[in-house]
Amino acid sequence: MSSEILPAFSETSNVERKQDLNEDQEENQKPGLGEGFEPISKRQMKKLMKQKQWEEQRELRKQKRKEKRKRKQLERQCQLESNSEGSDRKRIRRDVVYSPLRLIIDCSFDSLMVLKDIKKLHKQIQRCYAENRRALHPVQFYLTSHGGQLKKNMDENDKGWVNWKDIHIKPEHYSEFIQKEELIYLTSDSPNVLKELDESKAYVIGGLVDHNHHKGLTYKQASEHGIDHAQLPLGNFVKMNSRKVLAINHVFEIILEYLETRDWQEAFFTILPQRKGAVPTDKACESSSHEKKFARVEGGLNSDSSEEENRNELDSPHKEEKQDKETSTESTVNSILH
């Protein structure tokens, strides 16, 4: 019996001995930390570094995912709000009442302007277009004699003009498709002063940015062609420190404002820029009367001071002329009003 057990025990011991030898061989094949250590390749090192960074940045990635979810929620909320605002705008737009009044910018003065003035004219036209699109009572907007330098500048710097809506852009002169009896040319040189706007008429604004180099040109052309002309009643409601010549877009915006309010004074003071120093005529009269009373009192106390004031009054026209020269660099047009 013992003879049968001994061979089995020897076999198991041999198997265990072989396993121990195999394990020793595997351990010897592994890179050790001693003299037999083989250096890790650059590629393996990069992989180890990436794995380490990945583990270290796990929390950071979680935080970024949270922030991204919050940002998307905010974007969706903003989009919903903008959509609601857009629907409100559309609702307001449906309430717009279009005026039959035709407002024309006459661009037939292209050859009289340098490129710098052409660019100013282009910007003023852009402003007119934008204001008319936003107005509660938009006019029938015409751009006539469109071509030359102006068209070239618009093609180069504002290619979207071909997609403008609610505007009639024509290469023809306005006289070719509108009857003479329906036309009124707005020019500051006209002796006629408008009291109100006739919405059955077509009002023409001269598209000329000339810094007063061609003074009276629009009035002269209107007279020669037998076209009615007039100026807006600026002098009846407003006293200004600067010249009573306004930019094209200011004339355009004043007309839009008047169509909405039917009040010239409100229209003027809503649109006129502060640099013009505009004040109501009644306040201007009050201030001038106070100044005269003060001058008389001063004259009674000191005759020398009154003489000095008189000299200053005599010099005031020269000062106004100097102010005119300083403001002549503004982009203006000869088509406007007292």
Q: Which tens digit of pLDDT belongs to each residue from 131-175?
A: 999 999 999 999 999 999 999 999 999 989 999 999 999 999 999
Mean pLDDT of 173-197: 94
Q: Are 293 and 287 in contact (CB under 8 A)?
A: no
The predicted pLDDT at position 190 comes to 93
Q: Which of 103, 199, 93, 196 is nearest to 136 (CA)?
A: 93
Cα–Cα distances in angstroms (integers) from residue 76 to residues 19, 46, 69, 89, 90, in the given order? 66, 40, 11, 20, 21
Q: Rounded to whole angstroms, how far apart are CA atoms 338 and 321?
A: 17
The predicted pLDDT at position 193 comes to 95
Q: Say which residue, 298 or 51, is predicted with more confidence.
A: 51
Lowest mean pLDDT among 44-53, 218-227, 238-247: 238-247
Which residues are catalytically annotated?
A: 210
The predicted pLDDT at position 73 comes to 84
SS3 116: helix
pLDDT band at 41 (very low <50, low <70, confident <90, very high): confident
Please say if the pLDDT value at position 121 is more than 80: yes
> Token pair of 108, please?
């037939």
Cα–Cα distances in angstroms (integers) from residue 210 to residues 115, 226, 245, in the given order? 11, 24, 12
Q: Which tens digit of pLDDT belongs to each residue from 262-317?
A: 999 999 989 987 766 667 776 544 544 444 444 444 444 444 444 444 444 434 44
Q: Rounded to whole angstroms, how far apart are CA atoms 130 and 203?
A: 19
Lowest mean pLDDT among 66-80, 82-96, 219-233, 292-306: 292-306
* DSSP label at residue 193: B
User: Into which CATH architecture does domain 102-276 fall?
Assistant: 3-Layer(aba) Sandwich (3.40)
* DSSP label at residue 231: B
The predicted pLDDT at position 31 comes to 47
Please say if the pLDDT value at position 183 is more than 80: yes
